[in-house]
Amino acid sequence: MEKIINEILNTALIGTDKKAADYSILDADILNPLEQISHNDPEEKLIRAAALLIYFHEAGSKLKKYKGPAIENIQESSEQCGPIFAHQLEKILILDINLKDFFLGLWLDKIIGKNQIAREDQILTLIDEGIKSNQFLRNKILQTIGEKGKIILSFKPAFSVGTPYKSGIQKWIEGSNAERLEFIAENRLIAFDLIKKDWNSESIVFKKSVIEIISKDSNADEILFIQELYDNEFVFKAKEKKTEREIRNLLALKLVTIPNHPLHQLLVDKIKSYCVEEKKGGFFGLGNTITRAFKLPEKPDEFFNKDHFNARLGVEPVNNDSALYINEVNYLFANLLPFISTAEWASLLNQKHSDVFDYFLKDKQFLTLIEGKKISYLQQALYESCFNFAERELILYLFDQSFMAHSQIQDLIPLLNSDDLLFWLKSQKNPFSSNYVMFWTQKNGIWDKSFSHTILSDSYEHIVKNNKYTSESISRQMAKFVHLDAETELEKLKNKLTQDTYSDHWLKIVYKPLKEAIGIRKIIDQY
């Protein structure tokens, strides 16, 4: 049959003008009726022969038989998630794009944590969602689609998971540097033993990253480890790598921030020796107070010299901004300032915090002429100090300084507590600038009850009472991070609404998205 169909098809392709079909190979069952209905027209005869063959072939063709091994049952080892929890996925997938990934992450974390998989009719949806998502979510989705889902991934080449996802200790043993650091952050206690065990074989760059992690909120064992590194492995060497010096800087910074640590004491004692007493004060000699000020050497001395600062604190020995730091001592003092807390400086100078900040920013000896403007070369040092000691007075003081860039404020916001953030927000023209709240939230996570209530009622005040429109970005922040108990407060505010445009705006921007989000988060939370 194939042969004759091919013969007819070939003739049709080449054209009867150039090739005559060979009908002699036709079976009599087809040839006889063909002869009856066809005359001498070669085209008609070919078409009719083809029609007969095609119908004949279709009528007689047999289905293929499956002869392979028994069909394998695909069994899932994990159970499917419950119906109410599963239903939240449908709600999540229709959320605003800025919320969807966040909530999907929460949903996936929960299901992974419970060692369950998604409902079967949601597997494909999740895979398709994964294609549009980032690698991080895609890896999580991969853990929730079960065996059947993994099998159909071959139909979805766009669902690329890159290297297979590693979990637990596997991350440390086989993972990339990023995965191993992730492991440390997630399993600090277990990781610390592994860090010590494998320390000698690690690269210098990786060691630096590890120290950056463990020097935050270190426990006693970790501090001992840091001390040991400072005293031995990263002690100053005439020939050393830049990264080794940078590590010494990190280690010194950690040690100096420990009260009563010898290094801390050494620095404080040395600085004291540069203090001179000054009289300040009242009328006719009444109410005079004695404060202190620094009298820095004009030339490098035994303490303020680059080699000493490099060996002791890992400070870069080359002054990389000679316009700002006109001499070596200035440069070194600016590098020293962030090692000492504001409280310590205040005590050394016997001044209030704000006076100390004024002193550092306005005293003549710290001013440099840059582009015709006198600025303090300690500005950057004060800003850096905030990250080392997170002192609210200094942060709030700096927020009011005109030299602070918007990005610097954003960087400092996470260091505030919720009360200080609210205090500062209220002093701003647009208290609901979501960027500020967002930067704070990125570090601090879920808001506490009081912060949630305040933001909620202030949003009400801002929109409904003060008749101001606001963007949806603040409600997105609320949706993600508001305390779940804030639902009661939300309802209370809703009940206070009247029929007007701004009430509608609040309903649309704040109430509805928040109500939906709290509903989803509660179910995920309680699952």
Partner 1 sequence: MKFSESQIRSIAPDEASMKAGKGLSSKNSWVTIGQNDRVLWGEIKGSGAKPYQTQIDLLNIAFKCSCPSRKFPCKHGIGLMLVLVSDPNAPTQTDEPSWVAEWINKRAVKSEQVIVEKTYTEEELSKLEKGKEKRAEERAVAVEDGVAELTLWFKDLIKSGLIHLPNKDLSYFNKTSARMIDAKAPGLASWVKSLSNLNYASGNDWQLEALQIICKTFLLLDAYKNIGQQIEEMQVTIKNLIGWSQSPKDLLADDSQPIIKDIWLVLGQEEKTNDDIIVQKTWLLGLHTNEKAMILNFGTKFSPMPISVMKGSILEAEMVFFPGETRQRAIIKLQNQMFDNVPKLPELLEDFEQAIDLDRANIAKNPWWNDTIIVVKNVRLLKNQNQVYAIDSVNNLITICPDMLQNIVLNWFVICANGAKITVGFIRNGNFHALGIFKENNYIVF
* Binding of residue 348 to partner 1 (CB under 8 A): no
Residue 48 touching partner 1 (CB under 8 A):
yes
Q: What region does 287 belong to: left with phi over 0, alpha with psi -120 to 50, or beta?
A: left
CB of 87 to partner 1, least distance (A): 6
Q: Which of residues 113-172 bind partner 1 (CB under 8 A)?
A: 120-121, 123-124, 128, 148-149, 151-152, 154-156
| Closest by CA position to 144, among listed 122, 128, 164 | 122
Judged by CB, which is closer to partner 1: 59, or 220?
59
Select 46 or 210, whichever has its Cβ closest to partner 1. Answer: 46
Q: Which range binds partner 1 by CB under 8 A, 90-98, 129-137, 323-331, 356-364?
A: 90-98
Distance CA 28, CA 450 (A): 94
Interface with partner 1 (CB under 8 A), residue from 24, 36, 73, 201:
73
Q: How far is the CB of 465 from partner 1 (least distance, A)?
A: 21
With CB under 8 A as the contact rule, which of the stretches 36-44, 100-108, 215-223, 252-260 interacts with partner 1?
36-44
DSSP string, 325-339: S-SHHHHHHHHHGGG
Pairwise CA distance, residues 167 & 228, whole Å: 31
Q: Which two tokens stand for residue 17?
A: 């003008």
Total number of residues binding partner 1 (CB under 8 A)? 56
Asked if 257 interacts with partner 1 (CB under 8 A), we say: no
What is d(CA 99, CA 477) in angstroms, rounded to the nearest whole number? Answer: 9
In this structure, the dihedral spanned by the alpha carbons of residues 462, 463, 467 and 471, taken in order and rounded to 10 degrees, is 110
- Decide: is 47 part of the binding site for partner 1 (CB under 8 A): yes
Q: Helices in 379-508 by DSSP H: which ranges? A: 379-389, 392-399, 406-412, 418-426, 434-444, 449-460, 473-481, 486-495, 501-506
Shorter beta-carbon distance to partner 1: residue 82 or 519: 519
Q: For 452, phi and psi rounded to 5 degrees? A: -60, -45
Distance from CA of residue 428 to its chain's centroid? 27
Stretch that binds partner 1, among 45-53, 169-177, 228-236, 340-348 (CB under 8 A): 45-53
Residue 41 binds partner 1, judged by CB under 8 A = yes
Tell me the window of 8-16, 183-191, 212-220, 241-249 that interacts with partner 1 (CB under 8 A).
8-16
Three-state SS at 125: helix
Check binding of 523 to partner 1 (CB under 8 A).
Answer: no
Stretch that binds partner 1, among 68-76, 164-172, 292-300, 351-359 (CB under 8 A): 68-76
CA distance 436 to 421: 9
Per rule CB under 8 A, is residue 449 in the interface with partner 1? no
Q: How far is the CB of 73 from partner 1 (least distance, A)?
A: 4
CB 99 within 8 A of CB 480: yes
The token pair at 451 is 């912060």
Least Å from the CB of residue 482 to partner 1: 17
Which x/- pattern, by CB under 8 A, does the window 481-520 give for partner 1?
Answer: -----------------------x--x----x--xx--x-
Q: Which of 75, 201, 232, 320 binds partner 1 (CB under 8 A)?
A: 75
Under 8 Å between Cβ of 52 and 33: yes
Q: Which of 22, 79, 90, 485 binds partner 1 (CB under 8 A)?
A: 90
Nearer to partner 1, 150 or 196 (CB): 150
- Residue carrying structure tokens 């709600």: 91
Interface region with partner 1, contact rule CB under 8 A, candidates 86-94, 210-218, 252-260, 316-324: 86-94
Residue 2 in the binding site for partner 1 (CB under 8 A) = no
By CB under 8 A, tell whether 64 contacts partner 1: yes
Give the orientation angle of helix 379-389 with respect to helix 353-362, to 10 degrees.
150
Amino acid (one-letter) located at 336 = L
Dihedral sign from CA coordinates of 35, 37, 43, 49: negative
Whether residue 514 contacts residue 482, with contact meaning beta carbons closer than 8 Å, is answered with yes
**Segment contacting partner 1 (CB under 8 A): 63-71, 234-242, 311-319, 365-373?**
63-71
Name, in order, each residue with C-beta under 8 angstroms of 221's C-beta and a sequence gap of 6 or more.
192
Among positions 31, 34, 50, 375, the unique one binding partner 1 when judged by CB under 8 A: 50
Other Cβ atoms less than 10 A from the Cβ of 102: the count is 17
Q: Give the relative orientation of helices 418-426 and 434-444 as an angle to the nearest 10 degrees.
A: 170
Q: What's the CA gap between 494 and 23, in Å, rounded? A: 86
> Is residue 55 close enough to count as binding partner 1 by CB under 8 A?
yes
Give the DSSP H or E segment for 282: none
- Residue 278 in 3-state DSSP? strand
Min dist CB 165 to partner 1, Å, is 21
Bridge partners of 13? none
| Part in contact with partner 1 (CB under 8 A); list of ranges 60-68, 319-327, 389-397, 447-455 | 60-68
Q: Which is nearer to partner 1, 83 or 287 (CB)?
A: 83
Nearer to partner 1, 117 or 226 (CB): 117
Contact pattern for partner 1 over residues 300 through 329, marking x by CB under 8 A = ------------------------------
Rounded Cα gap, residues 383 and 405, in angstroms? 11
CB of 104 to partner 1, least distance (A): 15
- Which residues in this chain contact partner 1 in the complex, by CB under 8 A? 5, 8-9, 12-18, 41-44, 46-48, 50-51, 54-55, 58-59, 63-68, 71-75, 87, 90-91, 94, 120-121, 123-124, 128, 148-149, 151-152, 154-156, 504, 507, 512, 515-516, 519
